Amino acid sequence: MMPSSSSYPKTPPPWLCELPKKDPWSRPFAESLLTHLDLQEGLAVLDVNCGDGIPAFHLAHKVGAAGQVLAIDVSEAQLMRARAVQGPYFPWLDFRREDVKHLPENLGPFDRITGNLSFMFFRPDRETVLHQLVTFLKPDGQLVLTFPSLGTFDSLWQWVDQEMLARGYTAERERLAEYIAERPSAEDARTWLKSGGLERINLAEYPLEVETGAGQEFLHHPLLRGGFLDDVYECFTDQELAESFMQDIAAETSSFVPLIAQRCVMSGWASSLP
């Protein structure tokens, strides 16, 4: 049980109520999420795969002390960082370790369910996880999730595919095709929202350019490594070959820039009938 708000400072610092200005990846996605999310004071909100708290703090600010925000993530390290940032503010915001794929039945219900960049972590069976989330919505509740949809960094994937083909990397090329095909499209999301029983479905995509230089700047770019570029490395069983291949790719960034990510926002409403 969270302590009473009476034991906490009433006014959080302005920076805690806003989206971080220096986050070039999570912030743009969160901005698109908030554009589609219908927020009001007093709502109960579930924020899945919350990471370090973008946009959980903003959600807590918007729903106010009469509301509730439960922000969940499977990473205790990220939750610890979020709690450290939270400090004594927003006692109605609770960071809790939960796996979105295995949520307890008594978790909800909620007026709103959100997830910034969370949908990519629903794999391998995104549709099933999505449908389970929907069961925690109150009647007339809204679900809004963001993710980089199919088409993100297409110029890079096409160049990598061409280079694999030219070098005879058949098995690696097949694995790359599997990675790309696994990424959901906006139409996939629309279909899954509909099959989950949601209404007033809306899908929107907003392009986001990621700037990078060549060489090590590309290979260790904070928005590319630890995710998108790692998918290419995982296509190789020989990591020395993978490193040599990626060094060559990194020297040819002019062949596939600009790099465009598709920020996709998926939104739907539960029926007003219980």
Q: Say what the pLDDT of residue 1 is.
A: 46
Q: Are residues 55 and 169 in the same domain?
A: no
Q: Which domain holds residue 168?
A: 154-179+212-257
Task: Please tell me the total count of domains within the chain.
Answer: 2
Q: What order do you get walking across the sheet with 68-73 strand by strand?
A: 93-97, 68-73, 44-47, 110-115, 137-148, 259-269, 199-210
CATH number at residue 144: 3.40.50.150
Q: Say what the pLDDT of residue 121 is.
A: 84
Q: Are residues 66 and 144 in the same domain?
A: yes
Looking at the domain assignment, is residue 274 inside a domain?
A: no
Would you call 185 helix, strand, or coil by DSSP? Answer: coil
Q: How far apart are CA 12 and CA 15, in angstroms?
A: 8
Neighbours of 213 (CB within 10 A): 11
Q: Are residues 143 and 61 in the same domain?
A: yes
Q: Are residues 79 and 107 in the same domain?
A: yes
| Distance set, CA 264 to CA 14, 171, 188, 272 (Å) | 28, 31, 11, 26
Q: Are residues 123 and 251 in the same domain?
A: no
pTM attached to this predicted model: 0.89
Q: Are residues 200 and 113 in the same domain?
A: yes
Q: Say what the pLDDT of residue 274 is.
A: 66
Q: Are residues 109 and 164 in the same domain?
A: no
Q: Are residues 79 and 120 in the same domain?
A: yes
Q: Are residues 159 and 201 in the same domain?
A: no
Q: pLDDT by residue for the chain (274 residues), tens digit each? A: 444 445 556 688 888 989 888 888 899 999 999 999 999 999 999 999 998 899 999 999 999 999 999 999 999 999 999 999 999 999 999 999 999 999 999 998 999 999 999 998 888 889 999 999 999 999 999 999 999 999 999 999 999 999 999 999 999 999 999 988 888 999 999 999 999 999 999 999 999 999 999 999 999 998 888 778 999 999 999 999 999 999 999 999 999 999 999 999 999 999 987 6
Q: Are residues 18 and 52 in the same domain?
A: yes
Looking at the domain assignment, is residue 243 inside a domain?
A: yes
Looking at the domain assignment, is residue 105 inside a domain?
A: yes
Would you call 142 helix, strand, or coil by DSSP? Answer: strand
Q: Are residues 85 and 158 in the same domain?
A: no
Beta-bridge mates of residue 114: 47, 144
DSSP 225-244: TTTHHHHHHTT-S-HHHHHH
Q: Say what the pLDDT of residue 186 is.
A: 95
